[in-house]
Homo-oligomer: A and B are copies of this chain.
Amino acid sequence: MQDTEIKLENPLEQRLGYQMRRASGLMMVNLAERLAGIALRPTEAAILVLLRANPGITQTKIGGALAIQRANMVPLIAGLMTRKLIARQAADGRSHALSLTPTGRTLAVKAEALMLEHEKYFFGELSGAEREHLLQQLRGVRAVPSD
């Protein structure tokens, strides 16, 4: 019976934080589906893209840029190494300079293209100025003091 169907009153729909969480979750699922086509998860794709823009950086620096803890970088880097998408070279005795293999570079380029398609899919209606304004508002959230 669809008879006594109640249209739910949801005060959370008025909350910017809640809307951001829902919107972000939806976008992540959609991005994950797109990236699955090239066998990458969003975080793996982010690492490749970051590495293409910054050849030779260490895994700790990648973690710093992506807000991933050192400990959690280990299996991520190991997986990309196993798949021969990235390579290591000793920088000093304790750190390694990471770089993309040719295969990894190709995937990084594809991943970046998919990310742009993804953004266009969700925000294609926005003008350049509107897009930049939204970007600035989101960066503003991250600029707020942490305590």
Check if A82 is an interface residue, CB within 8 A of chain B.
no
Contact A119 B15 (CB under 8 A): yes
Query: CA A144 – CA B118 in complex, angstroms?
Result: 12
| Contact-residue bracket for chain A | 35 or more
Q: Report B-chain residues with C-beta under 8 Å of the C-beta of A121.
A: 144
Contact A138 B10 (CB under 8 A): no
Query: CA A31 – CA B18 in complex, angstroms?
Result: 10
Instruction: Map CB proximity to B onto A129-147 as digits: 1 under 8 Å, 0 otherwise.
Output: 0010011011111101010
Contact B21 A53 (CB under 8 A): no
Contact B138 A122 (CB under 8 A): no
> Of the candidates B25, B122, B125, which one forms a contact with A67 in the assembled complex, judged by CB atoms under 8 Å apart?
B25
Instruction: Report A45-65 residues with CB < 8 Å from chain B CB.
Output: 46, 49-50, 53-54, 57, 61, 64-65
